[in-house]
Structure 1
Amino acid sequence: MSKDTIAFMLKFQADKTLDLFKNSWLSAALAAAAIFYSGCAESIQGLDPDVLPESELIQMVQSDTFSVELETIVVDTTSTYRTVRQNIGNYLDPSFGRISAATYTEFLPREDLSFGSPSDLIFDSLVLNLVVEDAYGRANTPQTLRVYELTERLPDSDAEELPNSTSSFSFDDSRDYGDGFEISLDNDAPGRILRVRLDDELGRRLLFAGDEILSDPDSFVNFFNGLYLGTDPVTYTTREPGAIMLLFLESTSQLELYYRQRDSNNVFFNRVEPFIIISSTPRFTQFTRSEDQGSLFQIESALPQEERTYEFSQGGVLVKNFVKFPTVESLGKVGVSSAQLTLPVDTLLNGSNGRYAPPAQLIAILADDEGVELIENDAFIPIDPIVTGATYDSDEGAYVLDVTDYVQRVTAGQQENNGFFLRPQNAAFFMNRAIMGAVGNPALAPKLTITYSTLPN
């Protein structure tokens, strides 16, 4: 044979050997795949019972959205008796109407007060000091302060019925002791002390009241019942006029009586005597809502629940919310790793320059099976705070609530799914309001997202 013939035969034999190898490998691979597929097919029905029974299989983690019930509840009445802050002023909110606040308060003399002989006294002036910590609305709108003397005594804390935000006590409005004092605050200044000179007649009456009245607090309060502090209604001289001011009466807010007193050397010295407000001093704030006809709040609140576009929350003239998750029981026995409720706020309705900021915090309070808030006392402290209260996120324009604990208990059968209430924190003196999307709002509807996995049977 020639060299070329021998080379051809060797190449032919090598190619056949390679093809045989390839075919053998493919056959082996197909056989292995068949075995693997057979094993996978069986795993659909469950692995070998001796290895992992079907009842112990855990499915993949899932994240779904669930239906939410959200309802506005107009309460209006708030417990404001002896709260740590009080309010005065009024403003016109295009979405809520006119909101007004007035404060009723007593003043107390120091213990065993005595001015001495009236012949040694010369009256100078009486000044009302008011510490204004903050304001809600357009603070630089001029407001006329009205200071009237109460003609009936405020009840002590042990009274059967205590004043609240809708209470009213009689006062003599025929004489404005503040003489129309005008309040206008810098919107950028967080605090200010107002010094209002009051009518001299009241100052003289206090100075010459006599030791038997001045030295006994009970006699003094019967002699001088206290003051009403309110403002005249603001008008539409500017857009969104007026504001409600936050008063800190327990600090240096007080009546200051300036006078001169003669000593044993027949020399008159300048004196000042404070009449103070302390934590136990009877006082309360009265809130009112008016002129809300045609407002967004009035229109939406009158609609059936299923037709609403917005839901509302507000402090002072209290508006709270009720929330329920009607379908979470349909999850059955699952392991809930997280549950989050998002309540979007329509930030376009927060007023110009965001002047009507939403409440910074919402308190969550469980409901019982009759729809009553489960609280420890009138301070609205939740009995079982398993729903974390929400902080308003101004960047997101929404409240986000961690409801994991609540949903876990409901799905485990440890908690009745009665829902819960949301109310603004410190609603007795913070006026903040929020306009949230209703369930039917196409862009701002509330959203409940639950992440869970199936548990073994």
Structure 2
Amino acid sequence: MQQKFPLLILLSLIIGAIACKKVDVQLGSDFVDGSNTQIIKVDTFSAELSTVFVDSFITSGKGTTLIGGYQDSIFGRIATQTYFQIAPPTFEDIYDNVTFDSLTLILKLNKSYYGDTTKPVHIDVSRVTDKIEPFDNGFYLYNVDKFNVDPAILGSKDVIINPNQTDSIFIKLNAALGQELLNKFISKSDTIKTLDVFLNYFKGLRISSNASSQLIFGCKDSLRMRIQYKKKGLYLDNKNIDFTLHNSNLHFTNTSVDRTTGRPDIVNLPTLKEIDSRSTGNAAYGQAAAGSIIKLKFKSIRDLLKVPNFAKILSARLIIRPVVGKYDRNFYLPPQLRLSTTTALNQIGTDLTAIGANGSPVVQYGNLFIDYGLGVSTAYSYDVTNYIKFAITDAVDNRNGLLLVPPTSGYETNFSRVVIGNRLNNIPNSKIELQIFYAAVQ
């Protein structure tokens, strides 16, 4: 579809056509004679979409404790387990005439969540029996890593999370362990006084859930395991001993995905590595924290060079409309998504940028607008002018494209998903649109 306008009229139309923002059209010295120049809008170049599998990614040192799991209609059963070490406080010789009261794990929420907040989340706390450390002499721990735990659960709790009201969660742990730990303070044991000895004795904790949970939520890494005890004196005083997080670089989350309970056409994604959207219901599926991202390719874009009188691309805007009905207030869209260049290897490359308010390039995150009413106006939008200008000059038939991924800071911890329809998708207002304005000289 092409629309032609006289040059003087068209500039005012572009202002209204692109998100109510002024568009500066620079034709340059090659197009001095305005009577022979036309600006043409074309929106018929479609993107080829695919769902790409991400095998593993770093989850250690992210500062977030993820708890829970849920059943996703697309990806299947998703579950998280967080592992970490704790360390005792600096030893003081103050534990005479004391009696044990309780042992509690205290978690502080960071207000992030994904799933159904009306249903309780089951939480299990287990003692790790392996030394927590990177595998193969590496430096990081990944979403696929895990360590053995004692089969006896230290403590459990079912909680309903209200992200706007719930501040902390208190989970009572095994009293025998608490008494054992307090005894080591009383006896001035090297296990308590020397950190390496303690970490060999108490290798860490794992927080997990079970199949009943329908929510994943996040907590800060400022967690603590607290011994509460009473000390006899003139009065009976209530006292605490707090064990805090040790080595945040060994604090990480394991994420498992049972795809057999999701869409049958993406169950083999880990084996196939990439699946064309035409084989998955004319849509591609992205949930980075569960190992799935969306790839876009513009393989037909060089056909623009064949258009009669084509001279120069002036601007290009990509509008991504998520499939209507695949998101709501609980299973919400990623608030930010960046576009990163990639190759046939599907590795994340350079992020697409735009000129910010201070005149410097800034990464684009889509400026998401959500229409929770009818869903017809929900969209991400990106200035892809420079990318499309480069793409039409690339004569090689390759599998280069763009990956739609969350910001670097939330890649591993944000479970929100996005579903994008290809040009054959028959759900209204659920397709990608590439708008190109170019100059033609007759």
Q: Which residue of 2 aligns with 1:102?
A: 81
Deviation sequence 1:37-70 (CA, Å, 0-9, x none): xxxxxxxxxxxxxxx9999776211111223122
Deviation sequence 1:78-123 (CA, Å, 0-9, x none): 321121212111112223321111111111223x323545x53321
Structure 1: distance between partners of 2:268 and 2:333: 18
Residue number among 175, 182, 203 corresponding to 1:207 in the alignment? 182
- Tell me the C-alpha RMSD between the 2 structures: 3.5
Identity %: 21
Residue number among 105, 118, 124 corresponding to 1:128 in the alignment? 105
Ranges in structure 1 where 5+ consecutive residues have no aligned partner: 1-51, 235-240, 376-380
1:348-359, aligned counterparts within 5 Å? 348-350=325-327, 354-359=329-334
Report the TM-score, using the length of structure 1 for normalisation.
0.74
Q: Which residue of 2 aligns with 1:160?
A: 138
What is the identity, as a one-letter code, of the residue corresponding to 1:151?
A: T
Contact 1:123-1:260 within 8 A present in 2 as well: yes
Ranges in structure 2 where 5+ consecutive residues have no aligned partner: 1-28, 355-360, 372-376
Do residues 448 (structure 1) and 437 (structure 2) align?
Answer: no
Q: In terms of Rg, which structure is larger?
A: 1
Q: How many angstroms does 1:267 deviate by?
A: 5.9
Q: Report the count of equivalent residues.
A: 383
Structure 2: distance between partners of 1:208 and 1:305: 61
Do residues 146 (structure 1) and 132 (structure 2) align?
Answer: no
Structure 2: distance between partners of 1:64 and 1:382: 22
Q: How many angstroms does 1:413 deviate by?
A: 7.0
Report the TM-score, using the length of structure 2 for normalisation.
0.76
Contact 1:84-1:279 within 8 A present in 2 as well: no
Contact 2:98-2:232 within 8 A present in 1 as well: yes
Q: Which residue of 1 aligns with 2:384?
A: 403
1:19-418, aligned counterparts within 5 Å? 59-65=37-43, 66-75=45-54, 77-110=56-89, 112-116=90-94, 119-132=96-109, 133-155=111-133, 159-160=137-138, 162-173=140-151, 175-178=152-155, 180-186=156-162, 189=164, 191-209=166-184, 210-234=188-212, 242-250=214-222, 253-262=223-232, 268-277=236-245, 280=248, 282-290=250-258, 292-293=260-261, 295=263, 298=266, 305-308=277-280, 309-332=282-305, 334-350=311-327, 354-368=329-343, 371-374=346-349, 388-395=364-371, 396-411=377-392, 418=400
Which piece of structure 1 moves more, 404-413 or 279-288?
A: 404-413
Structure 2: distance between partners of 1:317 and 1:271: 42
Cα gap change, 1:336 to 1:54, in 2 (>3 Å): closer
Contact 2:353-2:364 within 8 A present in 1 as well: no
Contact 1:300-1:310 within 8 A present in 2 as well: no
Deviation sequence 1:234-290 (CA, Å, 0-9, x none): 1xxxxxx7111111123xx21111123356xx7653211211126735211111112
Residue number among 405, 408, 422 corresponding to 1:438 in the alignment? 422
Structure 2: distance between partners of 1:400 and 1:423: 14
